[in-house]
Structure 1
Amino acid sequence: MLYRVIDSEELPSLVSAFMKDYEVVAPVKRDGSYVFDVIGSPDEIELSYETTISSPKKYLLPPDETLLAFDARANGVTDFAAQITPRVIFGAHACDINAINRLDLVFRDGRYPDPYYTARRDATLVVGLSCMPQSTCFCHLWDADEARFGYDLFLQDIGDKYLVSIGSVEAANILEASCKPREATDEERIAFRHVTRTRQQSFDHAIPDIQDVAMLMDAFHDDPFWEELGGGCLSCTACSAVCPTCFCFDIRDTFDPDGKTGRRERIWDACTSPQFALVAGGHNFRPTAARRVRHRMYHKLNGFLANHDRMLCVGCGRCVKACKAGINPIEVLKFFVRKGAEDAQ
């Protein structure tokens, strides 16, 4: 990996250089919170932002997208050619970059790549930005507090400078043309280590660091805890709406008013929705909120790991804030602590 240093005052020039050829999506402030949105000026970016309400996932996997058009009169189907916009996701935190890496495993790098996702991903550059954890962050538990790959540039704030990790030639060329990157000095490397150490020490250590979580999910699969935790679920699907790694979707056919032509669309879905496991004949194989919550947690903390060697949860903490019933992975970790204490008695 190639590292360079730029001065903080050069950052607007870097953003402006990206804006010449790309649509730039970055964190901005909206109604007291932060969101990823298309910017018209580098001045709109909030670099010291707290975790955004939702992730930049929607720019790679839209909430609603057309897959094909059909004409019942001619019994014809036309593949939908989406307009792919060259885009830069600027200022993504490490957890969101790791979330994109997990989506890549599902939609781009698998046996059957999704052409819609792949087209958007290939047209997107990712510029990461360092951060300090909030009280709801637990990305360090899932090894998602650092982005080791999946970005084109990563900016680590070291005071009035940025240590820039370069991940692609395309981004390196833009950096070189818009800024004056230089090799890091010993003092700047020391500053980087200091900032990294400070970030690691800033996590809420009251959040349990549990080993073998996947194994414990199996061991306590039938524990009454899941009724206790999931019984309060409102089935509002807010957790899935804000999650950067949820990728479940539904397919629907939407007809035009003439009833003869229409579109096949892909829309986000959520395993906590009461209709998610409803099948033909009216049977629902996850009929209760508790069972749906258990399934969601199991997939995040066990099932995905078995197939892809990493947790699906990246510990961003968005679901902690979004769920009004207090249902989140931290509560699962606390449960494992309680079970360990009971076994020790």
Structure 2
Amino acid sequence: MLYRVIDRADVPSLVAALMERYEVVAPVRRGEKYVFAAVSDFDEIELDYPSTVASPKKYLMPAIQTLFEFDTAANDVTDYVDEVRLRVLFGVHACDINGIMNLNSVFNDARYPDPYYAAHRAATLIVGVSCMPSEHCFCNLMDSEEARPGYDLFLNAIGDKFLVSIGSVTAANILEAACDVREATDADRIAFRAATRARQEAFNPAIPDIQEIPMLMDAFHEDGFWDELGGRCLSCNACANVCPTCYCFDIRDTLDPGAKTGRRERVWDACTSPQFAMVAGGHNFRSAPAQRVRHRMYHKLNGFLATHDRSLCVGCGRCAVACKVDISPIEVLRFFERKGAEDAE
């Protein structure tokens, strides 16, 4: 990996250079919260944000995406050409970069490549930025607190400078042209190590570090804990809507007024939805809320791991904030901690 140093004061120049060719999407403030949105000026960007309400996933996998259009009267189908913009996701935290890497594993699978996702991803540069964890963050427990691959530039804050990790030639050329780029000194590397230690020490110690999560998910698969969670679940899908790694979708046909023309659309779906597991004949093989909540947690913490050798959950903590009844992977980790304490008695 190539490392360079720039002054914090150079970042507006970097953003301006990116805007010459790309749409720049970055964290902006909305009241007391933060969201990813397209910006036209650096002054709109909030780089020192704790977390956004939702991840930048929607720019790679839109919530509603037209696949083709049809005309029933003419018996005609027309391929829909999606608008794919050259775009920069700027100011992305490491957990979200790891979330995008998980989406890449699903949608760029060589066996079943998804052309819609691939087109958006190929047109997108990712510029990450370091952060300090909020009370709900547990990316350190999910091995997602650092972004190793998956970015074009990553800005590591070291006082009034950034240690920049360079991941692509395209981004490196833009950085070199826009900023006063320097070699990292020993002092810069020491400052980076100090910042890394400070970040590690800032994680919420009340969130338990549980080892052997996959084994525990299997061992307590039938525990009454899941019935208790299911009894609280509202099936609102807020957790899936804010999650950076939920990738399930449904296909629907939407008719225009007159029912002669319409379009086939791909829309976000979630395994917590009561209709998600409904199959032909009306059978629902996860009809109970407890089954749906357990399935979601199992997939996040175990199922994806078995196939891709890493957890699907990246520990961003958004679902813990979004859920009105306090259901999240954090609650599952605390359940395992309680079970461990009971066994030790």
Normalised by the size of structure 2, how large is the TM-score? 0.98
Q: Where does residue 273 of structure 1 map in the other structure?
A: 273
Give me the whole-angstrom Cα distance separating, in 1, the residues matched to 2:60 and 2:114.
Answer: 11
Aligned residues: 345
Letter in 1 for 2:57: K
| Percent identity of equivalent pairs | 69
Q: State the distance in 1 between where 2:200 and 2:87 align.
A: 31
Cα root mean square deviation, aligned: 0.9
Aligned mates of 1:271, 1:107 — CA distance in 2: 18
In 1, the alpha carbon distance for the partners of 2:143 and 2:325 equals 27
Counterpart-to-counterpart distance in 2, 1:259 and 1:323: 38
1:72-101 Cα offsets, whole Å, 9 max, x none, are 233332221111100000000000000000
- Name the SS for the 2:24 alignment partner: strand
Distance (whole Å) between structure 2 residues aligned to residue 202 and residue 68 of structure 1: 48
Q: Which residue of 2 aligns with 1:214?
A: 214
Runs of 4+ in 1 over 4 A off after TM superposition: none
1:297, distance to aligned residue in structure 2 (A): 0.3
Corresponding position of 1:68: 68
Name 1:59's counterpart in structure 2: 59
Distance, in Å, in 2 between the alignment partners of 1:109 and 1:39 is 32
Structure-2 separation of matches of 1:232 and 1:69 = 40
Normalized against structure 1, the TM-score is what? Answer: 0.98
How far does residue 219 in structure 1 lie from its aligned partner after superposition? 1.0
- Equivalent position SS for 1:343: helix
* Distance across 2 between alignment mates of 1:289 and 1:275: 11
Match of 1:26 in 2: 26
Give the match for residue 48 of structure 2.
48
Give 1:136 deviation, angstroms. 0.4
Q: Secondary structure at the match of 1:101?
A: helix
Q: Which residue of 2 aligns with 1:291?
A: 291
**Pairing 1:195-344 to 2, within 5 Å after superposition:** 195-344=195-344
Take 1:297 and 1:91, find their aligned partners in 2: how far apart are those partners? 28
Cα distance between partner residues in 1 of 2:109 and 2:123: 16
Alpha-carbon displacement from aligned partner over 1:32-55 (angstroms, at most 9, x marks no partner): 110000001011000111100000
Aligned position for 2:37: 37
Secondary structure of the residue aligned to 2:240 is helix
Alpha-carbon distance in structure 2 between the residues aligned to 1:62 and 1:71:
24
How many angstroms apart in 1 are the aligned matches of 2:178 and 2:300?
Answer: 41
Question: Whole-Å Cα distance in 1 between the matches of residues 20 and 114 of structure 2?
Answer: 29
Q: Is the 8 A contact 1:128 1:155 kept in 2?
A: yes
Q: Any unmatched runs of 5+ in structure 1? A: none
| C-alpha distance in structure 1 between counterparts of 2:110 and 2:43, whole Å | 39
**Residue 12 (structure 1) aligned with residue 30 (structure 2):** no
The CA deviation at 1:222 is 0.6
TM-superposed deviation, 1:109? 3.2
Matched, 1:121 2:121: yes
Change (3 A) 1:110 1:231: farther
For 1:109 and 1:182, the matched residues in 2 are separated by 38
Shift of 1:230: 2.0
Read off the aligned partner of 2:273 and give its amino acid letter: S
Partners of 1:140 and 1:216 lie apart in 2 by 19
Q: 1:339, CA displacement in angstroms?
A: 1.2
Alpha carbons 1:133, 1:202 under 8 Å: kept: yes
Superposed CA deviations along residues 173-200 of structure 1, whole A, max 9, x for unmatched, are 0000000111011101100000001101
Q: Is the CA contact (8 Å cut-off) linking 1:250 and 1:267 kept in structure 2?
A: yes
Deviation by residue 1:96-155 (Cα, 9 ceiling, x = unmatched): 000000000001134111100000000000000000001100000010000001000000
2:164: which partner in 1? 164
**1:183 match:** 183
CA apart distance, 1:231: 1.3
Structure 2: stretches of 5+ with no match in the other structure: none
CA distance in 2 between partners of 1:196 and 1:300 (Å): 27
What amino acid maps onto 2:191 in structure 1?
A
Distance 2:301 2:313 in 1: 7
Task: Give, in whole Å, the separation in 1 of the partners of 2:262 and 2:204.
Answer: 51
SS of the residue 2:232 aligns to:
coil
